[in-house]
Chains A and B, each alone.
Chain A
Amino acid sequence: MKMVKSTLAVLTTAAVLGVSSFAQAGATLDAVQKKGFVQCGISDGLPGFSYADAKGQYKGIDVDVCRAVAAAVFGDASKVKFSPLTAKERFTALQSGEVDVLSRNTTWTSSRDAAMGLNFTGVTYYDGQGFLVNKKLGVSSAKELDGATVCIHAGTTTELNLSDYFRANNLKYTPITYDTSDESAKSVESGRCDVLTSDQSQLYAQRIKLAAPDDYVVLPEVISKEPLGPSVRQGDEEWFDIVRWTLFAMVNAEELGITSKNVEETAKSTKNPDIARLLGTEGEFGKDLKLPKDWVVKIVKEVGNYGEVFDRNVGAGSELKIERGLNALWNKGGLQYAPPVR
């Protein structure tokens, strides 16, 4: 299997290097409008980010980003088609034009942004590697984990982050590597390892898999930066701006207290110039992006503001119950900040 994996890695690299950027400014929006839907690359199944419900409808934060882009362009969040992509084929799918937006739990890194022929439009979720432990251990900080047995997923950057963190803090640990998250969840449960490490958003999902989820806690320490966000092909600034400002619009809407319930009313009655500009009752914000005047109204009406999307998919309103933390608005102690509309 290792052999296969490295073969695949070589092939991907070859594929990526061989690609010249053939996107042109404006081409994506025209093509999207012509075919009548946004083609969006999502993951092949990740709790809270993109998964299929019992009716076969895709749900999750990554999915809602796609729906918001569709709402912005067409005024209809359902005009989007999803391509589930594996981690290996995601960038090629974007480069080759198979998808218009890649919203697939992808960490924004310098190498991807610079060398892969794509541009990240923003951050939908500030993730980071964390630790899940049994409450019985009585540990309240990762610094107390000296000598612990740690479960990791093989071949991911988490392995590297973990060893860096423990070395920097002068702690000893024994790693046990697993291939799937189900296996590692089972071994935490059986007590084979004391700690499970993975991206925090996934630790909450892991916790639900355990027989007694309340016996386990996610420690506050985050030992790596994993900003997750959607990306588009390089070279089409117009489409890039649309996807980027779709995210900003959702964050701005939350900051200004506009929700899917009150958005239409607010648009009619508002006296606040910030809200009026955002919702298109004043100024030419939509026109500059080649979008309809009321595009933000449609996004918020059909998909919701950032807070609603977070809450519904991973936050208090979901099974995962992840706290806002880094993903709270900037004026509430988090990092979510959007430039103003004016």
Chain B
Amino acid sequence: MTTHTFKPDMPPPALTFGPIAWMRANLFSGVFNTILTLIGLYLVWLIVPPLLEWAIFKADWVGTTRADCSREGACWVFISDRFGQFMYGFYPAELRWRVDLTVILAIVGAAPLFFKRFAPKAKYGIAFLVIYPILAYWLLHGGFLGLEQVPTSQWGGLMLTVVIAAVGIAGALPLGILLALGRRSNMPAIKVLSVTFIEFWRGVPLITVLFMSSVMLPLFLPEGLSLDKLLRAMVMVIFFEAAYIAEVVRGGMQAIPKGQYEAAAAMGLGYWRTMSLVILPQALKLVIPGIVNTFIALFKDTSLVIIIGLFDFLNSIKRATADPAWLGMSTEGYVFAALVYWIFCFGMSRYSMHLENKLNTGHKR
């Protein structure tokens, strides 16, 4: 009996599968594309090695003063020496645990909201949104219930950036939704008020708004009464961003077919229930990218508070570069700032994509 032995499988043709094939199809598929690829590679070779050399291989990492840096590469000693100030501003060093605790509480407190099986999600979420801000204010600002007061003039660094952005986001979203509803309302008074509000705040640059809050407002207030600078800035940021959110949400609401309104009406739902149960859930889901876009812009806009002498993350770095002990470190400072801003903004954009996928109910095209 003869046994038939199969020949071993031939490998797939290299020109159809595998990395070489992929490169042929995507990078070298014609003369023009080949030239583009080569130019691209040349640019990468031109930029990346010196960058790595500056940022990593020739950089100085350890030390405490400028003398510890050879200045051939980046001097990250500057960043590590001033790291505390970049993160917390002038928040007293022995009280910085309060800032840390606030952040930890936010993460721990919000965690259950991300578990699918956590049943009383809505109730918990509302309770969290009510209790946490009070708790955070108590921890960060203090001044009652046994915690020493830390005036907002000592807040700064990344902490201030996050506080302004978080308060701005938390305040602007509900206000923006209300404004969007107001603008679509049939009641003339509410409609006119909403339109005026939105168009006013969209019509002025944020920097002017902040400047006015800092320069004009004190002149109208009686002498001696000075509103907290940070409070002024946060109110202005909320109003400003709410106007943008309102327009984004309105866009979403206009995309909902008229049939949805009619169906809700046919089921006997009133205005608020139509909006909260039928229209807004669909509209908000549609405009997640737009909302997150606004929030990312808001996060980056927080650095404009320098105009009123608040020292957020970027400005803390700028201020540190004015110290004669560290003159000439601005490149390192700005690179570090760019990295941190990128981490935050990229994080936000990934979260928005995750949210879009999670809420996708098949309408997405």
Using a CB–CB distance below 8 Å, which chain A residues touch chain B?
A: 4, 7-8, 11-12, 15, 18-19, 22, 31, 44-48, 51-54, 56, 81, 83-86, 88-89, 92-93, 95-98, 182, 185, 205, 208-211, 318-320
Contacts and interface: CB of A to CB of B under 8 A. Distances in A.
A251 B221 CA distance: 39
Contact of B327 (A7, A53, A85, A205): A205
Nearest to B330: A182
Contacts of A208: 324, 327-328
Nearest to B72: A211
B278 interface: no
Interface residues of B, number: 39
A80 to B, nearest CB: 13
A207 to B, nearest CB: 9
Contacts of B216: 11, 15
Contacts of A83: 153, 309
Given A4-B208, A31-B224, 4 more contacts: A19-B219, A47-B327, A88-B307, A319-B324
A98 B228 CA distance: 11
A19 B221 CA distance: 12
Given A54-B85, A81-B153, A209-B328, A92 B219 contact: yes
B218 A44 contact: no
A30 B319 CA distance: 33
Interface string B311-335: 1000100111111110110110000
Contacts of B212: 11
Given A4-B207, A54-B82, A318 B219 contact: no
25 contacts: A4-B205, A11-B212, A11-B215, A11-B216, A15-B216, A44-B315, A45-B318, A45-B319, A45-B321, A47-B327, A51-B322, A51-B324, A52-B85, A52-B319, A53-B323, A56-B89, A83-B153, A86-B308, A88-B211, A92-B218, A92-B219, A96-B221, A98-B218, A318-B324, A319-B327
Contacts of A54: 81-82, 85, 323, 325
Interface in B114-135: none
Given A54-B85, A95-B219, A209 B327 contact: yes
A98 B213 CA distance: 14
A239 B85 CA distance: 34
Contacts of A93: 218
A14 B165 CA distance: 31
Interface in B79-128: 81-82, 85, 89-90
B275 interface: no
B211 A8 contact: yes
A44 B308 CA distance: 10
Contacts of B224: 31, 97
Given A4-B208, A52-B85, A92 B319 contact: no
A206 B219 CA distance: 37
Contacts of B318: 44-45
Contacts of A211: 71
Contact of B322 (A15, A47, A98): A47
